[in-house]
Chains A and B, each alone.
Chain A
Amino acid sequence: MGRFLARRALQGLAVVLGVVTVVFLLRYVTPGSPVDFIAPLDASQATRRRIAENLGLNRPLYVQYVDYVADLLTGDMGYSYRSRTPVRPRVLAKVPATLELALAATFVAVVLSIPLGVVSATHRHGPADYGATLFSLVGISTPNFWLGVMLVIVFAVQFDVFPTSTRPVGLLDALGNLVVIAGPQQGYAAPLDVSGFLADLRSWLLYITLPAITLGTYFTALITRLTRSGMLDQLGQGYVRAARAKGLPETLVRYRHALRNTLIPVITVVGLQMGTLVGGAVITEAVFDWPGLGTLVIDAIGNRDWPLIQGCLVVIGIGFVVVNIVVDALYATLDPQVMD
């Protein structure tokens, strides 16, 4: 297991380097000089040249690349062109919001889809099956953008159950209320703020519900179908018939044996999709004004703020790689054959 993971981690590093390289080169094949977005439209050529020089854009490409990678290794992601502030803290500040959204959406999806898929498979061609299939079809065909806007109009504007957008408090902020800071300065008695935690958690849940449902729906539909077909496949296998023939109770056959095997490919897809969610929640983040990486990268692209774009993409890339390694580890635990 250790060697398997080490190999995966090395591969992951190579992927990250690849991402860094592609992201670095992207700026040179993308039309539109960053200077156009920094300088006013009527700036003189002299001003424009000066800006380019200040940004170091006149140095040879390979020098810029080597510098960039060397800086990255020390954790330095450069300075934003637009605001001239360091990129790293800005990007890292957005990670919790995006992770929370990806996790919440995955949670919504898993909680809904696995039971739906199982019910659908075990009641094949029954009304439950047709219902679940219809749900998947609608879910897959509904664009996130539209769904998000509709949920807001109905549940936030019309019925005023949820707020429309943003995220005033994060999950970590909420959990922060529970951390007891012990030390001489605190007199060993920093109170455990349970009511503060509950209030923050409630607010967080209110704000994250609609975005999580929006982002989770497509995902739910996908996993429902996958679970259904996987389950049907497993139920038709010899070992299931053997288990039944031995007289095992049907629930045990279904949920202990068939479902466990069904979940192997499902976990892979959930993992891969989570990676996609980390980077691909852009539209949902925009609709809900969610202060995550998606919103940041979209603004950065709009301004051709390359250091910021690169910072976001590198972090998203690393996130993707980490999720994949975790998925591989889980996969290996469930099905040791993959380590071979």
Chain B
Amino acid sequence: MARDIDRRNFLKLAGTAAGAAAVAGCSGGEETPTEGDGGDGGDGGGGGGDGGDGGDTGTETGTPLPEPETRVGYLERANRLLHEEAPWIFLNRQYSVYGKSTDVDWEARRDERIDGYAIEPTGDTDTVQITQSAMDSGLDPHDHRETPTDNIVLQAYEGLLSRDREGKVIQELATGYERLEAGRVRFELRSGVSFHSGDSLTKEDVAFSINRIVDPEVGGLDSPQSDQLAGVTGAEPADGDSAVIVESEGINPIVFALFATYCDVMNKSWVESNDEAYINTHMNGTGPFQLADYEQDVSVTFEAYGDYWKDGAPADELVITAASEASTRVNQLVSGETDVIVNVPPQNISQVDQADNAEISAVPSTRIIYNAMIYDREPFDSVEFRRAMNYAVDLESIVESVLSGFGDGTGQPTLEGFTGYNSELDPYPHDPEEAERLVEESGYAGAEIELHTPNGRYLKDLEIAQAVVGYIDDLENVSASVNQRDFGNLTDVLLDGDITTGPAFYLIGWGNATFDASQTIIPLLTSDGALTSYKNERVDELINEAQSMGGGETGTDS
């Protein structure tokens, strides 16, 4: 016990010093108010963490900086704080690595979606074939939330807004959108849009589609996308013209980003007159392709929709199949049996590159891979120790050797290109000496830690974990090992709502298709996050501020 008390006192001092150093090292800085408990100890477990938090704020000598003026400013500041507090070993952003045949013209998108409309056949046939790693979980666009199904439904269904290849929000079925006031936004609808059944798109269809997701009472569906449209409470057709008003709880700053990712528009009368099984095996959207043939678990065949509101799709026919084995997909591609394949693993990249009828198309994805360190568990309750872990790892060489260069090192939870990304922060450099020094400073020299990792859930997850542990184990004063876990078993303990049941140190991935920092930080790093590993009042406060400000987005076709 005596050791604990000593450590706490020490941390109080160290925390202050680290805070000063942190402020000195950054132009944005953190303001002075001594929020948080600035190192007053707390109980044995939390003491270190709180001491660390003091590092952010305990700069009695620093000049108070003004509060940020914009939402982006708050998010950037939260990212800076998280970078300094190192609640994770920041690892890498994943790349989506596709293989494509030379018979098609297509560039990969950043949100992991494959838009058949953007694939242009240049070879002999007008049929395009895509091979994914899994088939759909049903064709109801509101009844799923995973990439393989997205990739199938998006060919036939469309939302109000969408994204371009870079992730920027663009109009789709809406021709304009504006924030009327806090909690109310208005979408103008495109005219001349028809469903594959021939019905014209109406504002009732749009309002119904939104309500079907957010309200289990409408349409008899418990939509897994309801959490994705978080904050949205309902929608109603606007008076007169062709428009819809969407209501949210509070200001909902990312409402347009959410609608650009989810909420496909369905035909109200079609949904109401068909049962669940039918809706899951048939399609009636407004998109460029209509369903021609559906063989569950085997293939989905689409044909171009003649009355599409834009120019018709370049391909007449689009076939989507799946092969779970990566080498099978690669062989299908190089033997000319398919045109686009997903998830080419690093070991197969040269096979595709060397084939004369295929090439690699890679793009940074929206997924981040990180090692969470639970903030109140020894030795991770010490911010020095957590920072040490970041210094210990040679991220560049992991990206090069394990991921064959198809990844980017990160130093904050938000990825480049996302709203709130702080461009002043670089990944921690590889500095084992600094790491050893910080471990000494943390008082946890000699610690033994175990990294829990799934195997096969993310690209090279186990290999990344082994490399990380290898670097940490190379430190003189820490030893580390890997514990391979079944993914389901691991998520079970992470998702049970009790932070104390899970491992203290684990590798996991997180995709965020909204391109907004809040959708990573809120669930993963705020006190009440569904999958949180970290509690810090200052982070909560910065995020609360950010979420209470509108992004001020509007957009029109012009």
Interface residues of A (CB under 8 A from B): 30-33, 36-45, 47-48, 50-51, 54, 82-86, 90, 93-94, 149, 152-153, 156-157, 160, 163-166, 286-289, 291, 295-296, 298-299, 302-304
Contact = CB atoms under 8 A, between A and B. Distances in A.
A31 B335 contact: no
Contact of A47 (B137, B227, B322, B332): B227
17 contacts: A32-B486, A32-B489, A41-B523, A84-B277, A85-B138, A85-B280, A90-B296, A93-B296, A149-B331, A152-B331, A157-B334, A160-B335, A165-B331, A165-B337, A289-B325, A291-B297, A302-B324
Contact of B227 (A40, A157, A287): A40
Contacts of B480: none
Q: Please give me the 10 A-B residue pairs with the lowest Cβ-Cβ distance, nearest first.
A: A32-B488, A31-B489, A289-B323, A83-B138, A42-B523, A164-B331, A82-B137, A42-B530, A286-B325, A36-B491
A31 B321 contact: no
B277 A33 contact: no
Interface of B: 134-138, 143, 145, 216, 222, 224, 226-228, 276-277, 280-281, 296-298, 321-325, 327-328, 331-332, 334-335, 337, 486-489, 491-492, 495, 497, 510, 523, 529-531
B170 to A, nearest CB: 24
A222 to B, nearest CB: 25
Contacts of B337: 163-165
B341 to A, nearest CB: 12
Contacts, number: 127
Contacts of A31: 486, 488-489, 492
A227 B106 CA distance: 56
B495 A164 contact: no
A83 B488 contact: no
Contacts of A30: 488
Contact of B495 (A41, A152, A156): A41
Given A31-B488, A31-B492, 5 more contacts: A32-B487, A40-B227, A165-B332, A286-B325, A288-B328
Given A41-B510, A83-B296, A287 B328 contact: yes
A32 B492 contact: yes
Nearest to B138: A83
A164 B335 contact: yes
B335 A41 contact: no
B495 A48 contact: yes
Nearest to B491: A36
A156 B328 CA distance: 11
A82 B138 contact: yes
A30 B488 CA distance: 9
Contacts of A287: 325, 327-328
B456 to A, nearest CB: 9
A163 B335 contact: yes
Contacts of A39: 224
Contacts of A163: 335, 337
B276 A84 contact: yes
A286 B324 contact: yes
A153 B331 CA distance: 7
A43 B328 contact: no
A94 B531 CA distance: 38
Contacts of A47: 222, 224, 226-227
A289 B281 contact: no
A36 B495 contact: yes
Which of A37, A39, A51, A83 neighbours the largest number of chain B CB atoms within 10 Å of its CB? A83
B143 to A, nearest CB: 7
B294 to A, nearest CB: 11
A30 B487 CA distance: 12
B228 to A, nearest CB: 7
Contacts of A41: 491, 495, 510, 523, 530-531
